[in-house]
Amino acid sequence: MEKKVVEHVALLASLKLSQKEIKKFQKQLTDILAYIGQLEELKTQVVEPTSQVTGLKNVFREDESKPSLSQDEVLSGTKKVHNGMFKTKAIFE
Amino acid sequence: MKRLSQLTIKEAREGLRRKKFSSLELTRACLERIKKFDKKIKAFLTVCERESLEQARRSDKILNQPLAATNRQALLGVPVAVKDNFCTEGVKTTAASAVLENYFPVYDATVVQRLKEAGAIIIGKTNMDAWAHGSSTETSQFFTTRNPWDLSRLPGGSSGGSAAAIIADEVIGAVGSETAGSIRQPAAWCGMVGFKPTYGRVSRYGLIAMASSLDSPGPMTKTIEDAAFVLQALAGQDKMDATTSPKEVPDYLMALEKKLPGLKIGIPKEYFLEGMNKEVVAVVQGAIKVLEKLGMRIKEVSLLDPQYSVAVYTILQRSEVSSNLARYDGLRYGNDRASFGEEAKRRIMLGTYALSSGYYEQYYLKAQKVRTLICQDFDRVFSQVNLLVAPTSPSVALKVGASLDDPMFGEIQDILVEASTLAGLPGVNLPCGFSKEGLPIGMQIIGPQFSEELLFQAGHAYEQATDWHKRRPKLT
């Protein structure tokens, strides 16, 4: 895995990595992918993928409104609050 | 005579109902034991002393009522420990991560809610690998839990705190969670029962998500019977988790009373790995002989090389982790993404890569297809045998420091449990002997989906015939 790929993936994952971490992960991720490469030994051309194993399909429920957490409870985990709302960085300039 | 904190759930229930002791005495005994030994063992991240004593007093009021004997709350007045990745209302929940070092949930996980409904007293939150990423508790961003059998060794993980607390008799029962090995492997290294139920048998609501298609909460206890008490309280459909099964929950305790049916046990030859710890092999083979003496028929079977399940698990788990940990933005609760530890960062990186454009088919889709092959492999073998028996871990508890700088440590330790978790199967670790150095060795029994009753029956039969589950480390 090239260094610029590690940097790009870190950007996608919103992780700020140090140069030391980038170097370390570059080697470790390359090693792990080599280990995973052994899956190529198994033929899967006609095999369907499995994303979950419950056998359940289309689990629905009634769309009813119910009592939920209060605004104060929802905001209790952060100090960054403005007028009873979460405060975040501006997305637009 | 046993000290109160040494009691099993069954013994504690009986003692409380017969008024041999109160819930307050029992809870105090556990808290005293924690005070005395947990400085060394470090099983707990949070001890809820005040809350648990209050709860104990409330339990005693119920137990002192005239009709207390008919109370149906299975865990009434019994102190239990909960892994720190289950949300507990008003009680700090960190998942052993610095991101959540000051997170106080405003709701209970379904597992916690059901424990409370069953009357259990939540005595504290146990240490784990951060976000449950690992098999050692060494990735905990707070401290490493020590194995009570040898304080220079690891308890295993990720539910290492729950395992250590049980075997050190700091608590009567405990709950852990397993994605691949996180219940069974620490149970093996600490010498106790760890029961991973079928995926979807126990709700994940309020469990801090790791790999959502695999996460399974379950009991960690001193005996099989205790695991049945806890699973009975936890199991069943939950409208807050759409992957929970609508299947009716059987009476697990009743199953223990039933006569053991004629069972055919498969021994997968690929699960006795080349270069594996010889004492583990010998002890598990000895345990299989005990099963044979109990009337079970033993048959060697063949499964896919477990190496493949490690590769599949690594891709799927990292991918699901990268998605689940994307929510930690530091805006609504918790610290920002700079607080992630190295292991979490590495897993997020690999998962993001595996899911990114151009690599999805090569890694994620390929892994999902091999997951299908693994499921089919188990279907085939379960048409020949009722249950599978194998070692749980390829080694005994390793030394503190063993996991450091090995990015695949957890996967290699969990090589013998990853295939069964990918297929959503239930599995239980049972203590089945000790190494010459006095470290516990465990075997696992794996069954088809929703075969929990059969696992309890077979495990109970083995436990009745042996006394490994009664052994305890000498703590000073």
Report the residue from A6, A38, A52 with minimal CB separation from B243.
A52
Confidence (pLDDT) at B216: 98
CB B265 within 8 A of CB B298: yes
B83 is catalytic: yes
Average pLDDT taken over every residue of chain B = 96
The answer to whether B408 contacts A32, with C-beta atoms less than 8 Å apart, is yes
Confidence (pLDDT) at B409: 82
| Residue range B237-259, pLDDT digits in tens | 999 999 999 999 999 999 999 99
Confidence (pLDDT) at B47: 98
B66/B48 Cα distance (integer angstroms): 29
Cα B290 from chain centre: 25
Question: CATH number, domain at B462?
Answer: 3.90.1300.10
Query: Choosing from B23, B135, B140, B182, which is the catalytic residue?
Result: B182
Report the residue from A13, A51, A74 with minimal CB separation from B322.
A13
- In the structure encoding, which two tokens stand for residue A16, read together? 């700020």
| Residue range B98-116, pLDDT digits in tens | 999 999 999 999 999 999 9
Would you call B326 helix, strand, or coil by DSSP? helix
pLDDT at B68 over 90: no
B264 is catalytic: no
Residues 54-93 of A with CB under 8 A from B: 54, 56, 59, 61, 69, 73-74, 76-78, 80, 86-88
B153/B160 Cα distance (integer angstroms): 12
> How many residues appear in chain A?
93
B461/B289 Cα distance (integer angstroms): 13
Domain count, chain B: 1
| Residue range B298-356, pLDDT digits in tens | 999 999 999 999 999 999 999 999 999 999 999 999 999 999 999 999 999 999 999 99
Q: Which of A23, A32, A58, A62 to mutate to test the interface with B (most CBs of B within 10 A)?
A: A32
Confidence (pLDDT) at B66: 81
- Based on the number of CB atoms within 10 Å of its own CB, is B295 exposed (0-12), middle (13-18) or buried (19 or more)? exposed
Give mean pLDDT, residues B140-169. 98
Residue A89: band (very low, low, confident or very high) from pLDDT cuts 50, 70, 90: confident
Task: State whether residue B247 sits within 8 Å of chain A by CB.
Answer: no
pLDDT at B405 over 90: no
Can you count the helices (H) and strands (E) in chain B? Answer: 15, 11
Give mean pLDDT, residues B185-195. 98
Residue B82: band (very low, low, confident or very high) from pLDDT cuts 50, 70, 90: very high
Tell me what percent of the residues of chain A surpass a pLDDT of 90: 89
Confidence (pLDDT) at B67: 76
| Residue range A10-34, pLDDT digits in tens | 999 999 999 999 999 999 999 999 9
Residues 291-310 of B with CB under 8 A from A: 307-308, 310
Q: How are strands ordered across the β-sheet holding B264-268?
A: B44-47, B121-126, B79-83, B173-178, B216-221, B193-196, B427-434, B440-446, B387-391, B264-268, B297-301
Residue B394: band (very low, low, confident or very high) from pLDDT cuts 50, 70, 90: very high
Report the residue from A9, A15, A56 with minimal CB separation from B356.
A9
CB B357 within 8 A of CB A5: no
Residue B15, domain member (yes or no): yes
Cβ-Cβ contacts under 8 Å, A88 against chain B: 331
Helix (H) or strand (E) holding B354: helix B342-355
The neighbouring-strand residues paired with B297 are: B264
B403/B150 Cα distance (integer angstroms): 17
CB B278 within 8 A of CB B399: no
For residue B438, the distance in angstroms to the closest alpha carbon of chain A comes to 34
Sign for the CA dihedral angle at B50, B51, B53, B54 comes to positive
What pTM value is reported for the model? Answer: 0.97
Residue A61: band (very low, low, confident or very high) from pLDDT cuts 50, 70, 90: confident
Confidence (pLDDT) at B407: 81
B356 is catalytic: no
Give mean pLDDT, residues B176-192. 98
Per residue, what are the HEC states of B24-73? HHHHHHHHHHHHHHHHHHCCEEEECHHHHHHHHHHHHHHHCCCCHHHCCC
Give mean pLDDT, residues B130-153. 97
Which tops the pLDDT comparison, A76 or B404?
A: A76
Cβ-Cβ contacts under 8 Å, B375 against chain A: 50, 53
ipTM: 0.95
pLDDT at A60 over 70: yes
Cα B402 from chain centre: 21
Residues B77-95: b if buried by 16+ CB within 10 A, e if exposed = bbbbbbbbbbbbbebbbbb
B305/A38 Cα distance (integer angstroms): 11
Number of A:B CB contacts under 8 A?
A: 134
| Residue range B259-308, pLDDT digits in tens | 998 999 999 999 999 889 999 999 999 999 999 999 999 999 999 999 99
Give mean pLDDT, residues B375-384. 98
Query: Choosing from B158, B159, B216, B451, which is the catalytic residue?
Result: B158
Q: What amino acid occupies position B117? A: E
For chain A, domain boundaries? 3-39
Confidence (pLDDT) at B69: 67
B88/B244 Cα distance (integer angstroms): 20
Sign for the CA dihedral angle at B45, B51, B52, B53 comes to positive
For residue B314, the distance in angstroms to the closest alpha carbon of chain A comes to 8
CB B54 within 8 A of CB B121: no
Cα dihedral value B70, B71, B77, B78, nearest 10: 80
The domain defined by A3-39 carries CATH number 1.10.20: yes
